[in-house]
Amino acid sequence: MSPILDASACHNLLRSFLAEDIGSGDITTETTVSVLQRASGRVIAKAPLVLAGIEIFIEVFHLLDLTTMAAVYSMDGEEIMPGKVPVCVSASARTLLTGERVALNLLQRLSGVATLTRQFVRAIEGTAAEILDTRKTTPGLRALEKYAVRVGGGKNHRKDLGEAILIKENHIRLAGGVSAALEAAQAAKGRVAWTEIEVTNLDELHAALPHNPDVIMLDNMNPSLARQAVGEVGKHAAPRKIRTEASGGITLANVREFAEAGVDWISVGALTHSAPAVDLSFEIEPLG
């Protein structure tokens, strides 16, 4: 299928989306359009965007009609301008009408995530920092949205709760403090990709450093305080580099300040929870 999901998982996901939208049947299409009618549909960009999800778009129609054919003119990751046609599909007219909303919703959503991610990546060009997503994704769409982040040039943070240890404010409070939480986390260290802890001030940072976590998240710090924190981490003697991550309150207006403060990662929840869907239309014409 594609680097997004394996074929089986992708098909199951798309079938569930189609079932939700179709319900007991597309009564409008079934009563107004002949089962013999063939048609062609073209996607048209209405605004500048970064394309993401073109294979998913086509697969929606293919699941409804195995005779679906597609002509792809733009690939995921490509920046396209208004008026550009990235893809045309031909199938039974009923297929195009029934699958239109699910296919277009996904293409607009994923392209929106990729477009916003590209803006953040561009904003920090020339620095050593990387833009990361978060788990603030739409339930059911995480794999697709995280794929769109990669298409936009960003990197993925944890895919789920089992991939890494990320000790946040509530964990710290319930565990009894920064040191207690990091000591307890040692028991699972060999089972995860990395261990990370969130700190909100320099006192918490100094409490975390002796435990040598892989990553320290600088939560809701301003760029000036983040720069101080990066300096403190740099002074600490550790067996390996401790990465720093800025998180919370990151916008396009201030993201470069955080990058220039010297952090390694900048995680931005807005990439997936606030990215606006891009403006695309789908025009269908009869064939024959």
Torsions phi, psi for 283 (to 5 deg): -105, 125
Round to whole Å and give the CA distance between 131 and 282: 32
Confidence at residue 6, expressed as pLDDT on a 0 to 100 scale: 79
- H or E element at residue 279: none
Round to whole Å and give the CA distance between 250 and 265: 12
* Three-class secondary structure of residue 238 per DSSP: coil
Taking each helix axis from N to C terminus, what angle separates 54-64 and 93-123, rounded to the nearest 10 degrees? 160
Confidence at residue 4, expressed as pLDDT on a 0 to 100 scale: 63
Confidence at residue 1, expressed as pLDDT on a 0 to 100 scale: 39
Residue at token pair 């993925």: 156
Confidence at residue 3, expressed as pLDDT on a 0 to 100 scale: 52
Round to whole Å and give the CA distance between 181 and 186: 9
Identical fold between 7-121+276-287 and 123-273 = no
Strands ordered across the beta sheet of 280-287: 69-72, 87-92, 38-45, 280-287
Round to whole Å and give the CA distance between 214 and 63: 44
Confidence at residue 219, expressed as pLDDT on a 0 to 100 scale: 97
What is the residue extent of each domain of the chain?
7-121+276-287, 123-273
- H or E element at residue 228: helix 223-235
Cα 65–Cα 71–Cα 77 angle in degrees, nearest 5: 110
CA dihedral (83, 56, 68, 285) in degrees, to 10, reads: -30
- H or E element at residue 287: strand 280-287
Could you tell me whether strands 265-267 and 243-247 are parallel, antiparallel, or unpaired per DSSP bridges? parallel
CATH number of this structure's domain 123-273: 3.20.20.70
* Per-residue pLDDT tens listing for the chain (288 residues): 345 667 788 899 999 999 999 999 999 999 999 999 999 999 999 999 999 999 999 999 999 999 999 999 999 999 999 999 999 999 999 999 999 999 999 999 999 999 999 999 999 999 999 999 999 999 999 999 999 999 999 999 999 999 999 999 999 999 999 999 999 999 998 899 999 999 999 999 999 999 999 999 999 999 999 999 999 999 998 888 999 999 999 999 999 999 999 999 999 999 999 999 999 999 999 997
Kindly list the catalytic residues: 101, 136, 168, 198, 219
- Tell which CATH classification among 3.90.1170.20, 3.30.70.890, 3.20.20.210, 3.40.80.10 matches the domain 7-121+276-287: 3.90.1170.20
